[in-house]
């Protein structure tokens, strides 16, 4: 069995029959020094151990379970069933969204996450906002700090829900239903914002390469600001809450405007195509500014009831 | 304002229903939003109104093709 040399991540326990070479670019483990060789091929230990015990029938095997041929057969059957189930699930999911595109957004490492969090909180010193490409495909977040990712928004969303539960518990207003309500409210606001952005980008025929996942990523970055605001509100009271709200709002607005400007308003940076009417660049600018202004409103709306 | 996922689904259904109810000949042509009035620009800048009309028409076409709501829209047509 041909196993690739560079290891997959330890959390990715999916064996592939023929690993495509494009994936090796995504999942080269850059944050740890030693390659995780033992995490490849979750199903291979079963096959490897099925080999030798067949030779020593009932001998002093390491694991007595595998000397029994019936248990052997049962385990191989079970693992083949699991493989079939996994393939079926993959096929169904890939009808709705491309799993490869989704994996691009989760190809992050520690260095990227730290730099991105710093940029989100203090974007004023960051110089180069251009997303770099490599032969027409955008670089993964590991190699380009400007690329959007979905790891930070997902983690920030979950952390925000936990923090909301904690804040309500401090005020003795907690019950398990409130947690679900808070989660679904925040999720619904993300969905609304992404839908409004998609609709406005479609209506203005902006031919950018912003996919749905990109928009979800940019919408989810506000949760980092929300967490910071709620924490300051809990630690320092109402004054700390408003100061942190102002700080994270300004930082987020700056971040959103600089990031989306590169994608939505390309004609302003280079020479214009000539057929663009005078209304178009203004409308695109309005979209960018409206998105930016929407962020502090949502941050205030979703956190003010937590810090009373 | 505590939104639930159910209220989002309700809002989506009401919006789709609104798009279904706007009849092509009886209403949209009267206010200048009919699809036959959209063959304006041949260039690459269709404009907001044309895009919106195309969106309304494509939503209506998708609904006529696929889902059980097509019985309701056929009654309107």
Residue A149 pLDDT > 60 = yes
Residue A101 pLDDT > 90 = no
- What DSSP element (H or E) covers A27? none
Classify residue A57: in a domain, yes or no: no
Q: Do A203 and B8 touch (CB under 8 A)?
A: no
Q: Of B3, B5, B48, which has the smallest distance from its Cβ to A203's Cβ? A: B48
Mean pLDDT on A51-77: 65
* pLDDT score recorded for residue B23: 73
Q: Which residues contact A296 (CB under 8 A, 6 or more apart)?
A: A245, A249, A252, A253
Residue A58 pLDDT > 50 = no
ipTM of the complex: 0.72
* pLDDT score recorded for residue A16: 44
Contacts of A202 in chain B (CB under 8 A): 51, 55
Q: How many domains does chain A have?
A: 1
Residue A129 pLDDT > 60 = yes
Q: Which residues contact A31 (CB under 8 A, 6 or more apart)?
A: A109, A110, A111
Classify residue A38: in a domain, yes or no: no
Classify residue A74: in a domain, yes or no: no
| Tokens at A91, concatenated | 């096929």
Residue B74 pLDDT > 70 = no
- Higher-pLDDT residue of A206 and A298 is A298
Q: pLDDT digits over B23-73, tens only?
A: 777 777 777 766 666 565 556 566 777 778 888 888 888 877 765 544 444
> Rounded to an integer, what distance in angstroms lies between the CA atom of residue A305 and that of residue B11?
25
Residue A80 pLDDT > 80 = yes
Residue A50 pLDDT > 50 = no
* pLDDT score recorded for residue A155: 94
* pLDDT score recorded for residue A29: 57
Q: Which of A19-28, A51-60, A61-70, A245-254 ranks highest by mean pLDDT?
A: A245-254
Interface list for A 128-167 with B (CB within 8 A): none
Range of the domain at A294: 99-304
Q: What is the pTM of this model?
A: 0.68
* pLDDT score recorded for residue A162: 92
Mean pLDDT on A118-131: 85
State the burial class of residue A149 (Cβ atoms within 10 Å of its Cβ: 0-12, 13-18, 19+).
buried
Burial A182-209 (b: 16+ CB within 10 A, else e): bbbbbbbbbbebbeebeebbebbebeee
> Rounded to an integer, what distance in angstroms lies between the CA atom of residue A203 and that of residue A279?
13
Q: Do A187 and B51 touch (CB under 8 A)?
A: no
Q: A37 in contact with B at a CB cutoff of 8 Å?
A: no
* pLDDT score recorded for residue A127: 82
* pLDDT score recorded for residue B33: 67
* pLDDT score recorded for residue A250: 93
Classify residue A1: in a domain, yes or no: no
- For every residue of A173-239, DSSP letters joined together read ---HHHHHHHHHHHHHHHHHHHHHHHHHHHHTT------HHHHHHHHHTHHHHHHHHHHHHHHHHHH
Average pLDDT across chain A, whole number:
76
Classify residue A77: in a domain, yes or no: no
pLDDT band at A76 (very low <50, low <70, confident <90, very high): very high
Angle (deg, nearest 10), helices A176-203 and A279-303 = 180
Q: A202 in contact with B at a CB cutoff of 8 Å?
A: yes
* pLDDT score recorded for residue A102: 82
Q: How many CB pairs under 8 A join A and B?
A: 37
C-alpha distances (whole Å) from A85 to each of A12, A82, A237 are 17, 5, 52
Classify residue A152: in a domain, yes or no: yes
Residue A103 pLDDT > 80 = yes
- CB atoms under 10 Å from CB of A244, counted, come to 23
Residue A34 pLDDT > 60 = no
Q: Which of A47-61, A178-192, A193-207 ranks highest by mean pLDDT?
A: A178-192
* pLDDT score recorded for residue A32: 53
Q: Of A202, A203, A205, which has the smallest distance from its Cβ to B45's Cβ? A: A205
């Amino acid at each position: 069995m041909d196993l690739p040399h560079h290891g997959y991540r330890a959390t990715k326990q999916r064996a592939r029959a023929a690993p495509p070479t494009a994936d090796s670019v995504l999942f080269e483990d850059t944050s740890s020094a030693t390659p995780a060789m033992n995490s490849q091929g979750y199903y291979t230990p079963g096959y490897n151990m099925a080999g030798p015990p067949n030779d020593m029938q009932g001998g002093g095997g390491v694991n007595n379970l595998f000397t029994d041929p019936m248990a052997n057969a049962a385990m191989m059957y079970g693992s083949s069933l699991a493989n079939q189930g996994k393939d079926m699930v993959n096929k169904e999911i890939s009808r709705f969204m491309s799993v490869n595109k989704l994996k691009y957004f989760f190809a992050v490492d520690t260095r990227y996450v730290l730099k991105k969090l710093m940029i989100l909180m203090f974007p004023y010193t960051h110089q180069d906002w251009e997303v770099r490409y490599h032969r027409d495909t955008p670089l993964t977040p590991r190699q380009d700090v400007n690329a959007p990712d979905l790891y930070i928004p997902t983690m920030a969303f979950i952390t925000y829900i936990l923090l909301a539960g904690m804040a309500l518990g401090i005020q003795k207003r907690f019950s398990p239903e409130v947690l679900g309500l808070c989660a679904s409210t925040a999720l619904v606001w993300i969905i609304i914002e992404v839908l409004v952005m998609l609709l406005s980008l479609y209506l203005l025929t902006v031919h950018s390469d912003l996919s749905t996942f990109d928009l979800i990523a940019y919408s989810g970055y506000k949760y980092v600001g929300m967490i910071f605001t709620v924490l300051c509100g809990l630690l320092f009271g109402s004054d700390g809450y408003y100061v942190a709200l102002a700080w994270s709002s300004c930082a987020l607005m700056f971040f959103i405007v600089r990031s989306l400007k590169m994608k939505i308003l390309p004609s302003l940076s280079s020479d214009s195509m000539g057929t663009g009417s005078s209304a178009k660049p203004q409308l695109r600018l309005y979209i960018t500014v409206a998105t930016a202004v929407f962020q502090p409103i949502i941050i205030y709306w979703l956190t003010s009831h937590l810090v009373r | 304002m505590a939104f639930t996922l159910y209220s989002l689904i309700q809002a989506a259904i009401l919006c789709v229903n609104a798009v279904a109810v706007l009849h092509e000949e009886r209403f949209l042509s009267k206010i200048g939003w009919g699809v036959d009035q959209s063959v304006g620009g041949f260039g690459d800048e269709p404009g907001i109104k044309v895009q919106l009309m195309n969106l309304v028409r494509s939503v209506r076409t998708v609904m006529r093709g696929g889902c059980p709501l097509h019985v309701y829209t056929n009654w309107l047509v």
